[in-house]
Structure 1
Amino acid sequence: MSIKEIEYRLPDDLIEILEKIFTRCQLDTIYKSYENGRNTTFRVNKLKGNTKEVMDELNRYKIKAVNYAKLNNTFIIKGSKESSLRKLKIYDDGKIYLQNISSMLPPLFLDIKEGQTILDMCAAPGGKSLLMADITSNKATIFANDINEIRRERLSYNALKQGAKSIIVLGTDGRTIGKRLNNYFDRVLLDAPCSGEGTIHIRNSKRFSGWSEKKVKHCVKLQKQLIESGYNALKDNGVMVYSTCTLNPFENEEIVEYILNKHSDLKIEKVSLDIPNSINGLTKYREKIYREEVKNTIRIIPNENMEGFFIAKFRKNKID
């Protein structure tokens, strides 16, 4: 499928947004990922297994896995479908977790440590909470929240399967957590509901048929309420990471700008990421000028291995 054919299938308003953000070369990478989807990726769950036993089983079934050098215990599957991994014992035993590489990144910027109390505000199906449990060897307390009952059941199932005993599953509206548990958490992760522009797959119309400017505006309203709640739930000197799997600035840079303007004690910290297909946050979109420090955020360009993502890191500084 040519680039023109891919563009023809996408909403005109979405193409206009993307063309204002990315170079022609970057757009070609995005559209190819929209056409072909992303390679299957997974991480080894150290709570249950180790790399050697995982690789031994993959080799036994002639499934080729390539180490992703930028992240520990992370692998890319070449030449096999995700369904082939789901048939393996290492999958059934929770020794691996299927997860896109981009989705593994936000927890890594939280600076999490054993003994901390951590909130994952919109957690289901649980990949980021599971990774945090793995990183801290089940020695942190992780509140994994999701308002949707069906998704929450999946989250609970995944936590049990992966041996993530440090996860406590909540089922509340994330917009109210800041009032209920004010100034309570050392770390807050808000992987916000979004319009999903980073996950589009042309061959799966469900991934983009619901996209509209109206949906983006709805997401923005919800994201502002959630990030305000996350700020209120965060302790002084705590770290909050905000992320989405979308590409437009309305759900990304403008949310960052919104919360920074509202709270002078909240400072943005640089997200440093040495991987291909990543760019700094925007300081300008059309006529809109953002704070200079907003460039310390990062945007992942959708590519063959990674979904499109946006990540921002904040620290709440106590004001005397």
Structure 2
Amino acid sequence: MLSPITELPPAFLEKLSLLLDETQLEQVLNSFSVDKPTTFRINTLKGSIQDTTDELRSAQFNLTPVSWLPTAFHIPPDQRRALTETDAFYQGRIYIQNLSSMVAPFLLAAQPGETVLDLAAAPGGKTLQIAAMMNNQGRLSAVEAVKNRFFKLKANLDQQGTSMVKTYLTDGRSVGNKCPEMFDRVLLDAPCSSEARFSLLDSSSWEHWSTRKVSEVARKQKRLLQSALTSLKVGGLMIYCTCSFSPEENEHVVNHLLKKYSSCVSLEPIELPFSNTMAGITHWQNKTYADALTQSRRILPTNIMDGFFICKLRKHASC
């Protein structure tokens, strides 16, 4: 009988074996079989952390706080359904979201009163987190190109009580030209091949994956990242991230931007409050990337977190 791991696409497994060392590879492959805890955030726009956690604990939920993010908690997998049936869930006082997805807004660190762009926003988890961090003060623009995902985004924003978010059904690749140097901070959680969401508990999670799809999304990511940079003010900060392991969607895309706009943008170091990470790579399949790519980070999946790639860019001059 075949090992469950061998159900995954062979080309994907080969890529992982080239990218990771033996220990990391075992960790990542094991994570695909784990029924992970359910992580969620308290929505401080609708209630206090203390009141909401007291309510959930009274309802017998086994809450474990996340040390580095005061609004985040996780519960055992078997309590997920019950959580989705609580008043806190229906009233938008909590939002279920993978812990790795909370890292990007955490690093973006948007402040009340700023002008911020979420360039590929649906279904809205990161947008909501940013709005709460800004305490509904300032301007937050959320862009989504796919119609059904756009309306899901709007529904989530309405449920969670955001009053300062403006939503736009448009292709993110056009935003830079429409809104040049308008935003203090930009988040681009780019559409990707979603490799970090593969699960051996759900074979549909990888059924659309192929090396061709990776190449296709990488081309789109390059144009989205260029648009994001154009929309960013001089001095502004941008976060680029994906839920993919592939260097083609991560270091390769960022390196393309750095090479094209070396005079106006640079990578900044990232400090993360957990250790399951590896530095970005500078060599991949006969390609060499800028040394600065080592300042990006690949979050390796654990029994709680999904995999993720993330980097922080600063714009120094008009491009």
Q: TM-score range by the shorter chain?
A: over 0.9
Which residue of structure 1 aligns with residue 291 of structure 2? 292
Q: Tell me, yes or no, if the aligned pair for 1:104 and 1:128 is still in contact at 8 Å.
A: yes
Residue 60 (1) aligns with residue 83 (2): no
The reply on whether 1:114 has 2:112 as its aligned counterpart is: yes
Greater shift, 23-32 or 89-98, is seen at: 23-32
Unaligned runs of 5+ in 2: none
Shift of 1:286: 3.7
Greater mean deviation of Cα atoms: 278-287 or 213-222: 278-287
Q: Tell me the TM-score normalised to structure 1 length.
A: 0.96
Moved beyond 6 Å, runs of 4+: none
Aligned partners of 1:240 and 1:314 also within 8 Å: yes
Range with bigger deviation, 26-35 or 52-61: 52-61
TM-score (norm 2): 0.96
Give the letter aligned to residue 127 of structure 2.
S
Distance 1:167 1:319, change over 3 A: closer
The offset of 1:140, in angstroms, is: 2.0
Shift of 1:282: 1.0
> What SS does the aligned partner of 1:235 have?
strand
CA distance in 2, matches of 1:146, 1:204: 27
Q: Deviations over 1:87-107 (max 9, x none)?
A: 001111111110111101111
**1:313 has 2:273 as partner:** no
Query: Structure 1: any 5+ residue segments left out of the alignment?
Result: none
Report the alpha carbon displacement of residue 33 of structure 1 after superposing the two structures with TM.
1.6
C-alpha contact (below 8 Å) 1:40/1:82 kept by paired residues: yes
Q: 1:253 is matched with which residue: 247, 251, 254?
A: 251
Secondary structure class of the residue paired with 1:170: strand
Aligned pairs, how many?
A: 318
Deviates more, 1:272-281 or 1:118-127: 272-281
Contact 1:118 1:187 in 2 (8 A): yes
Report the aligned-residue RMSD: 1.6
- 8 Å CA contact 2:140–2:166 kept in 1: the answer is yes
Q: Distance in 2 between matches of 1:59 and 1:114?
A: 31
Aligned match of 2:275: 276
Counterpart residue type for residue 45 of structure 1: N
Aligned CA distance change for structure 1 residues 119 and 79 (closer, same or farther; 3 Å):
closer
Counterpart for residue 133 of structure 2: 135
Give the partner amino acid of 1:42: F
**Aligned positions of 1:191-210 closer than 5 A:** 191-210=189-208
Is residue 61–residue 79 contact of structure 2 (8 Å, CA) maintained in 1?
Answer: no
1:268 is paired with a residue of what secondary structure?
A: strand
Displacement of 1:154 after TM fit?
1.1
Partners of 1:189 and 1:283 in 2: how far apart? 23
SS at 1:217 equivalent: helix
SS of the residue corresponding to residue 82 of structure 2 reads helix
Structural mapping, 1:94-243, within 5 Å: 94-243=92-241
